[in-house]
Amino acid sequence: MKTLLNIFFLTLFLTCSVVFAHHYKGEIEASNEFIEHHKKWAKKYHGISDKKRFQKNIKELTNNQNASIKPKKIIIKGMESLNSLKSYKGKGEMGIVKGAPEHAFKGKEFWSVTVDFSKCGTDQGFSDCKQTQGSSRKEIRDKKKWTFVEGTEKWIHYAFKPAKNIVFKNKGRKYTIGQCHPGDKPRHVGIVWMLRIRQGNLYIAQYFKHFNKADRTNTGPIVETSNGTRYYISDEHSSSFNGGKEASHILLKKLEANEHNGTNDWTSVLIHQVQSMDHKKGLLEIFLDENYNNPAYVYKGEMGIETWNKCYIKIGLYSNGNVVAKDMATTENMNLWLDAMVIGNTKDEVLKKVAQDK
């Protein structure tokens, strides 16, 4: 018996050694041991304080020694911001980039958001670190409980540029750069919409997606659940990444990665949302790259299910699938630039403020 126990513990030790030896190829799921090991590794990998690191990164990415970050929680004109999961720490992980006007989308300054898997957070029993194959975020949300309720119509504009460690041909790694979240109580059942980078390209992910009531033959079975009626989407009408039959991931724009696993160009996004459970009124339109008259994506129909019919805006960078990275060093210094962020009630109001952005 003693011999068998010795063999068991020796095997366990060797297995753990092999696991950690391959840790930085991202070959295992997140666990307490994995997370702790990565945090210790990252501290040595960075070698300097976070404040110095964020400043150093922005100088290198802009190729401008005058560039600097003023730590500040993201501000969206027309919306009061709330720190999401206490992700803003005031060290430069969020902040305004000064001294590099040549890189701004509009005006002379822009925002920088840096996410590190080693800084993944927990709150009241919830762990980003273990969520969706290892997650980490730097986000703000609408301070109001809901940005959209039944009948709300708004226009949202922001420009983004993945600067470092975001654009990969890796199905498991996902980067959400804006979403309208319906809440998690009593449990998480999906998102109204998400703009996300996946497989190295920009997608719109939309849950609770309905087809027009006039053409319900295309929806597949209608199923009653404790969370309301869901109209399941057939495979024929959904190009999902294992998001379930209720979710769709539609390609909006192909991105070209540079040497930093980012892009050289900005992408501007204008979102028009009418939140309604009336299939004749509900609307989601997305316009890209200042083509404000021809939407790249249009959805008309119910914007939710009966028990999940409201949502609040979140913007920043939320990374998933970090433990499936081929090189765990790329789960650090994931850097996104943001600019010209405005939310308003009309298209003209929003675009006027975008044009005036400093």
Q: Model confidence at 247, in pLDDT bands (50, 70, 90)?
A: low
4 in a structural domain: no
Looking at the predicted structure, is the pLDDT value of residue 75 above 70?
yes
Beta-ladder partners of 300 = 283
Looking at the predicted structure, is the pLDDT value of residue 214 above 50?
no
Looking at the predicted structure, is the pLDDT value of residue 158 above 90?
yes
Among the listed residues 335, 357, 314, the one whose alpha carbon sits nearest the alpha carbon of residue 67: 335
pLDDT digits (tens, 9 = 90+) for 278-298: 888 999 999 999 999 999 999
Find the mean pLDDT for residues 11-34: 49
CATH number at residue 252: 2.60.120.200
DSSP 308: B
Q: How many CA atoms, within 13 angstroms, populate the side-chain half-sphere of residue 57?
A: 29
Looking at the predicted structure, is the pLDDT value of residue 48 above 80?
yes
340 in a structural domain: yes
DSSP 92: S
Contact between 323 and 134 under an 8 Å Cβ cutoff? The reply is: yes
172 in a structural domain: yes
Q: Model confidence at 246, in pLDDT bands (50, 70, 90)?
A: low
105 in a structural domain: yes
Beta strands in the chain (DSSP E): 68-71, 81-83, 94-98, 110-115, 122-123, 126-127, 136-142, 153-164, 174-181, 193-198, 201-206, 222-225, 228-231, 248-254, 267-274, 283-288, 297-300, 312-320, 334-344
185 in a structural domain: yes
Sign of torsion over alpha carbons 38, 257, 114, 53: positive
pLDDT digits (tens, 9 = 90+) for 269-282: 999 999 998 888 99
pLDDT score, position 44: 96
Contact between 335 and 57 under an 8 Å Cβ cutoff? The reply is: yes
Lowest mean pLDDT among 39-53, 138-152, 161-175, 201-215: 201-215
Question: For the chain, what is the domain count?
Answer: 1
Give the whole-angstrom CA distance, residue 196 versus residue 322.
15
**281 vs 245, more confident:** 281
Site of tokens 């919830």: 126
**Who's near 4: CB < 8 A, 6+ residues apart?**
none
Find the mean pLDDT for residues 218-234: 42
35 in a structural domain: no
27 in a structural domain: no
At residue 269, what is the residue type?
A: V
Q: Phi and psi of 49, rounded to 5°? A: -65, 155
Q: Phi and psi of 59, rounded to 5°? A: -65, -40
Residue 350 in tokens: 């929003």
pTM of the full predicted structure?
A: 0.85
pLDDT digits (tens, 9 = 90+) for 308-323: 899 999 999 999 999 9
Looking at the predicted structure, is the pLDDT value of residue 197 above 80?
yes
Residue 71 in tokens: 């730590």
pLDDT score, position 250: 87
Helix, strand or coil, per DSSP, at residue 5: helix
Helix, strand or coil, per DSSP, at residue 200: coil
Lowest mean pLDDT among 6-15, 108-117, 124-133: 6-15
Q: Which domain holds residue 276?
A: 49-355
21 in a structural domain: no
